[in-house]
Amino acid sequence: MRLVGLPGGFLLMLALLASNALYASDACHATSGPGTAAVVELYTSEGCSSCPPADRELSLLSREAGPGSTVIPLGLHVTYWDSLGWQDVMAQKVFDARQSELVAAGHGTFVYTPEFFANGEEIRSWHGTFPDAIRQINSTPAPVEMALTTRSDPDNTVELEASVTPRDARALPADGVQLYFAVTEDGLVSHVLRGENGGTTLSHDGVVRLWVGPVAVGAQGGVVRRDITVSPQWDRAHLHFVALVQNGRDQVLQAVRAGTCGAS
């Protein structure tokens, strides 16, 4: 671990089933249900020897949470390990900034790897605790409805269209919410040659390749469209597109995830 200083029961099961009953997703369209999706962010690095178990945990989240769960894993690789023997090609400084914002919002004093957040709240003791945490989030009524549609063009451009609809007139804060898009990729394998994980082959799922936002959405909701470029180095068959909204305290209010269809 590296530290970096900063400037139950039956009724629950019924609620869980109800929360996900209307969630739907196909190749290029996803809609949310009345329950809140669990967005699990892992801040990790291939240069960190304590990170591989957390990477494996991120890959297993959906299976561990069980049928009917709605969980969106995001693996965000940070750059502050890159000078310590191994440069993580998936790392981006925007993820460093995102991690620092979440820590500050929770009144923390440092960032570290591996560090998990679920809908903006830090999960320190994550071994064996995620299934219950995900079920609890899923059983919480979401203040908004969301939909996400992806449209793929032949020139490696994908249009993302996300809609945010408050469930009632007072569902959203008066100053609105912030919307983010993310592109994730599953099935990545790296052969680490140096650093703390030197000589190790690592597998990754849910790796965030692109992070876009924040985009302001007013208290009445709205539709956000963005065109993004898909790198030829990304495997389209393993890509997912995510839209999430959060309030001013960095708490995720709802999220959806879709694949892509159209031109390849």
The model's pLDDT over 124-178, given as tens digits with 9 standing for 90+, comes to 988 888 999 999 999 999 999 999 999 988 788 999 999 999 999 888 999 999 9
Annotate 239-255 with b (16+ C-beta within 10 A) or e (fewer): bbbbbbbbbeebebbbb
Looking at residue 194, the DSSP 8-state letter turns out to be: S
Q: Mean pLDDT of all residues in the chain?
A: 89
pTM attached to this predicted model: 0.88
Higher-confidence residue of 171 and 251: namely 251
Cα–Cα distance, 238 to 221 (Å, whole number) = 30
- Is the pLDDT at 15 greater than 50, yes or no? no
| β-strands 71-77, 38-44 pairing | parallel
- Average pLDDT on 185-208 reads 97
Looking at residue 20, its pLDDT comes to 40
Cα–Cα distance, 39 to 58 (Å, whole number) = 11
Closest to 60 (Cα-Cα) out of 130, 138, 116: 130
- Is the pLDDT at 11 greater than 60, yes or no? no
- Is the pLDDT at 87 greater than 50, yes or no? yes
Q: How confident is the model at residue 5 (pLDDT cuts 50, 70, 90)?
A: very low
**What confidence tens digit (pLDDT) does each residue in 21-49 have?**
334 555 689 999 999 999 999 999 999 99
Share above pLDDT 90 across residues of the chain, in percent, rounded to a whole number: 77
Higher-confidence residue of 12 and 138: namely 138
- Is the pLDDT at 50 greater than 80, yes or no? yes
> Would the CA dihedral through 199, 202, 208, 210 be positive or negative?
positive
- Is the pLDDT at 2 greater than 90, yes or no? no
Cα–Cα distance, 17 to 35 (Å, whole number) = 9
Contact by Cβ (8 Å): 113, 48? yes
- Is the pLDDT at 263 greater than 50, yes or no? no
Tell me the HSE value of 240 on the side-chain side, using a 13 A CA sphere.
Answer: 22
